[in-house]
Structures are given as structure tokens and as C-alpha cells.
Amino acid sequence: MAKKTEFPAPWTLEGSGVIIFFPAHRQNVLSSAFVDPADKTAFRGGAGAVMLVHYTKADCGPYDELLYIPGFFEHNNKNYMRITKIFVSSKESVEWGRRNWAIPKELADFDWRQGDKEWHIDVRDPKTRANIYSVSLSPRFFSFPLTTSILPWSLLQKQEPKYSDGREFYLETPLSGKGSAKICFIDRVEGSRQFPDYHEMSHGPRIAVAVNPFTMTFPVAREVR
């Protein structure tokens, strides 16, 4: 049987992950290199997030992920989230994440060690082996349900010319997922110039949540002008 080489949307994914929420500091976000100049006038602030995800099941095969969402951006009088920096461990995820949802994925190596009480995640440059982002976390206390129905937000990503036949448009993707979550303590973080430092981007408290397990659906995206 020939190996599958195409992975169009929709995708159904399962796994575990960590979400670090923080109140975005507008001036710091806009002065960073991780927001496209064309997007800066559309930035509306709000809550940003760093996410680390270990997909044990995905349409393109299992993979790991590290991503940054600066906050909300406005388009046609509606607010959307936008991923401005993202690394994944799979070439298939890079290619089809860009094709399906215009998510600007890059390739990296991941070392994901997940225990009952501690998680250690290291993300490195596949060519130089230099650190991109490393974190140690401790999930604590009781579990509680977490679902995107509470926060029905959508991604809006500008499609690359490579996949758009020369046209200019965005792809809107509503998020749908649920899982079992715990409050998470961040024990250690080591960043780099290749990934945003949320300590610099934010002000006020940062809240981390470990979700294990979760299920998520990425549907077919809708073109938006």
C-alpha cells in the first residue's frame, strides 16, 4: 500500500499540551520582530498565548508543536487570533499546515518528556542544535473540563502567494476542541531570539494550563477578503 502524501483538511487531532496565557502589552508586541508590519495597524491587544502541543494522533501522523499568538487582530470589524510564530516536528505538518490554514509553520526538533508530576519540553534548531525554547512545568491540583465552546474564537491567517495563485486573501478557521485541564506551574523557561519572550511581551500575571488529554478539529478554512 502506497504511503499517503496528501493531507487536506479537515483534521482530527488528539494529544496533550500546555497553554500559557498572558495579557499582551501593545507597545512590546508591536515593536517585536514577530508581527508582520502589515498586521500592526490591525492589532487590538487582549490576551496572548504560548502553546506547546504533543499530538499523539493527527491526519499527517504524530508531531509536536510550539506556537505564539500575540493577541487579537481586527479584520472587517471582527476580532481574530493569529499565529505569528510556530515550530513543528514534522515536514508533513509544515507543508499542509501552510496549505490548509495558512499557518506559517517551520521545522524544529522536539524532546518531549511528560510525566505525572513534571513535563520537560526542549525545542531546538534542526541544523545548528541551538535552543529555540525550553520549559519545565508542573501540573497541579484538580482536573477541570476545558472547551473552546466557552471561547468561540477563530484563527485568521494570510495565505502565502505560493498557495494562493497570486490572489490575496485570508483563511478563517474556527477552533473546536475539548479536554481535561489542570493549573500548571512554570518551573523553568529558557528562550531564544528565534521565539518570542512572553515576559517581555506581557504585563501582569501569566496563567499556565496543562491539558491532558484533548481532542481538536481543524475544519476546512474559509476564504476571507
In the predicted model, is pLDDT for residue 67 greater than 80? yes
Question: 133: alpha, beta or left, given left = phi > 0 and alpha = psi -120 to 50?
Answer: beta
**Per-residue pLDDT tens over the stretch 92-102:** 999 999 999 99
In the predicted model, is pLDDT for residue 204 greater than 70? no
Question: How many beta carbons lie within 10 A of that of residue 218, not counting itself?
Answer: 22
**pLDDT value, residue 59:** 97
Can you list the alpha helix ranges (DSSP code H) found in 102-197? 161-164
In the predicted model, is pLDDT for residue 205 greater than 90? no
**Per-residue pLDDT tens over the stretch 147-195:** 987 666 899 999 999 999 989 999 999 989 999 999 999 999 998 999 9
Distance CA 183, CA 62 (A): 25
- The domain limits of the chain are 18-224
Q: Which residues contact 10 (CB under 8 A, 6 or more apart)?
A: 217, 218, 219, 220
**pLDDT value, residue 1:** 62
Summary mean pLDDT of the chain:
92
Specify the CATH class of 18-224 in words: mainly beta
Higher-pLDDT residue of 142 and 206 is 142
